Amino acid sequence: MDQHITTKSARAITWFAFTGGALLILAGIGLCAMYVVEAVIRRLGEADQSLLFWYLPILFIGLFSLMGGIGLLTWAMLRKRKQPDSPDRR
């Protein structure tokens, strides 16, 4: 009984990591795209280019979110391969 609960919780943690990693990657891509569109493309040709600097936190949050999502997704895939009932176990 105890092993069954542990296996279920291990699977749940893996799927939460997959979901969280995917959401972080989507958020990171969205924030980076928002920086490019709002600070670079819309301000092209304007005299005041200060938003390139002031919107940098949005870009950095997006980049760190992207890196965290890739790391979490990689960890979840490695964890999935190590599970005993996984068909792609090596």
Q: Express each pLDDT in 50-76 by its tens digit.
A: 988 999 999 999 999 999 999 999 999
Residue-level pLDDT at 89: 52
Q: How many CB atoms lie within 10 A of CB 72?
A: 20
Burial of residue 28 (number of CB atoms within 10 Å: 0-12, 13-18, 19+): buried
Cα dihedral 10, 64, 67, 9 in deg (nearest 10): 0
Q: Enter the pTM of the model.
A: 0.81
> For residue 1, is pLDDT > 50?
no
Domain boundaries, the chain: 2-82
The whole-angstrom separation of Cα 69 and Cα 75 is 10
* Those residues with Cβ within 8 angstroms of residue 74's Cβ, 6 or more apart along the chain or in another chain: 21
